Structure 1
Amino acid sequence: MHARVRAGEPEAFRELFQAHAGLVHGYAARATGDPSLAEDVVSLTFLEAWRLRGRLRDEGESPRPWLMGIAVNVLRNTTRAKRRYERAMARLPAPAVVPDFADELVGRAADAERLAAAKRGLAALTGGERQAFMLHVWSGLSYEETARALGVRVGTVRSRLSRARARLRRLTDAELGGEPVASSGQPSCDRRQWAVRPSEETIR
C-alpha cells in the first residue's frame, strides 16, 4: 500500500484515510475540545499527507508516525489561526440578538465537560510533554512511533512522558480534593479518569 500511495493511487490513499482518520480525529478533538475543528484538522492532515506522499517510508514501518507527525504540525498551525480569528471576532460589536442553542447543546454537555477537563490538564504541560502524552497515551502510538512522529529520540519521549504524568498527577490531586457535583445534583464525571487515564494506560 505504501508504494501505491507514493505513486499517487487514489484507492490506496482512500485505504490509508479509512484506516487512520479516526486516530487523527481523536487526537485533534482531545487537543482542541472542538469536534468541528478536529474535522478540519483531519482534512488538512490528509491533504498535506497527499502532498507529501512521496516521503512515506517503506512497507516495514507503520504509516502512523508519519501521519501523526503531520497532524501535530497541522494542529499547531490551525490552533494559531483559530486564536487569531477569535481575537478578531472579539473586537467586533456584540450582535443585537444572540440565538439560543440550548437544546442542541444539551446532548453534548457531558462530552464538552470531559474535553474541558482534558484541556485544563493539557494546559499544565509544556508543548513537548503535551505532544508526547497525546500521541503515546491517547493515540496509542508506541514509544518508538511517538519518537518518529515528533522527530526526537525515544529517551526524550520517555522523559517527557514521565514529567507529563507527574504534572497531571499533581493537577488532578489538587482538583479532586473534594468530589465535584454537577448542576443536576449528581456526582460529575471522574476527572482523574479523563485527565490522567484517558486510554487503557494507567499512570504509574
Structure 2
Amino acid sequence: METTLRARIRDGDGDAFGQLFDAYARSVYNHAFRLTGDWSTAEDIVSLTFLEAWRLRGRVDAEGGSLRPWLLGIATNTVRNTRRATRRHAAALTRLPPAEAVRDFADEVAGRIDDAELLAVVRLALDSLRRNEREVLALCVWAELDYAAAAQALGIPVGTVRSRLSRARKKLAAATRDLEPRRRSGQVRDSRVPAVRPAQEGK
C-alpha cells in the first residue's frame, strides 16, 4: 500500500496526496505542538509541512515503507525555519527606532474645510501625489499605522515609508497653497461636487 502511495505521490497524484494528508496530518500536528508548545503555531506548521512535502514530492523513493518519518522530518525543519524567522523578525524590531508620533493633519485640514470648494482643493492636492505617496499617506495618517506596520503592509523598507510620507506632506502642503488662490478666484468650482462625495466616510 505504502509503495503504491509513494509512487503516486512522486508522480504528483493529488488524490494520493490527499490520502497522505488524511493519514498523517494529526501526527504532524502533534509533533509540531510538542516542538512549539503552541496550538496555533502547530496548525501553521501542518500547513507549511504539507506544502513543502508537495514541493519535494519528486524526492520520494517509489519503494519504501511509511512516509510518516519523511513528513515529520519536514515538520521539524519547518519549525526550525519558523523559529529562525521569528528570531530575525524580533531582532529587526529591536533595531528599529522608537515609533514616532505621526502628525495627523486630517483634523487640521478638516478644521479649515468650511465649504465644498475647499474640499475640491484638497482633492486636487491629493491627485498631485504619486500613487506610492498616496498609499503611504493613507496607511500612516488615515489608517494610523506606524512606520513599521506600513512598511510591512507595502513590502518596503521603513526608511522608504518615511521618505515617501515626508514627500507627500510637502507636496500636499505646497499644492494646497498653490490651489488656495484659485479657490478664491473660483477656478475650481467645477470640481466641487465630485470632491465632496468621497468625504462622506468621515475622514
Indicate the structure with greater helix content: 2
Question: Is TM-score (shorter-chain normalized) higher than 0.5?
Answer: no
TM-score range, shorter chain: 0.3 to 0.5
Output the TM-score relative to the length of structure 2: 0.42
Output the TM-score relative to the length of structure 1: 0.42
Larger radius of gyration: 2
